[in-house]
Amino acid sequence: MQLFAGVNQSLPGAERSADELAAVALAVTRLLRAHAWRRRGGDLSDLQLRTLALINAYPGCAPSALADYLLLSRPAVTRVVDELVARKLVARRPAAADRRRIELRATAAGTRRVDAYLSGARAALARRLESLTAAEHDLVRRAMRVLGPRVQPLSPLGADQEDGGAP
């Protein structure tokens, strides 16, 4: 697995682990994006699908948080959200606590689209893992339980305080 020129064996333990993890994460991302591209059928763009998935994962998120997360301008995200609202995949409404703030939520149809995509993506990834032994499957699951909490953003769809950037 190579992210840049390959894993630098002379790196200290944590940095070498980070290098290898980044390489695997990139490979998984490429696999899932290829799956999304094949399955999108011209109906939703990659950006629309990613935006819908994020809104579904973080109900009540603000368009500005999506823009920060996706590294896009607020007007660009507004255009994407407008299209998702027009397709009745996303609902936009004022926040109960602060009516000046807008909240986004996936509609039932939007959630079905995300669920269909995720089940297909999960199946595509599972096909790649079929050849693992039972012990290797257990090792993967244990590694994910160890890594998961350490790589989660400190604040969903917001800036991480540790590195000053978006998750």
Q: How does pLDDT run across 65-91, given as a tens digit for each residue?
A: 999 989 999 999 999 999 999 999 999
Q: What is the mean pLDDT of residues 113-117?
A: 89
Q: What is the mean pLDDT of residues 113-118?
A: 88
Architecture of the domain delimited by 13-145: Orthogonal Bundle (1.10)
Domain ranges for the chain, please list them.
13-145
Contacting residues for 68 by C-beta, under 8 A, at least 6 apart? 157, 158, 159, 166
Alpha carbons 15 and 7: distance in angstroms, whole number: 10
pLDDT tops 60 at residue 147 = yes
**pLDDT of 98:** 83
Place 37 in a pLDDT band, splitting at 50, 70 and 90: confident
Least confident of 31-35, 40-44, 146-150: 40-44
Alpha carbons 62 and 142: distance in angstroms, whole number: 34
Q: What is the mean pLDDT of residues 94-104?
A: 88
Please tell me the pTM assigned to this model: 0.75
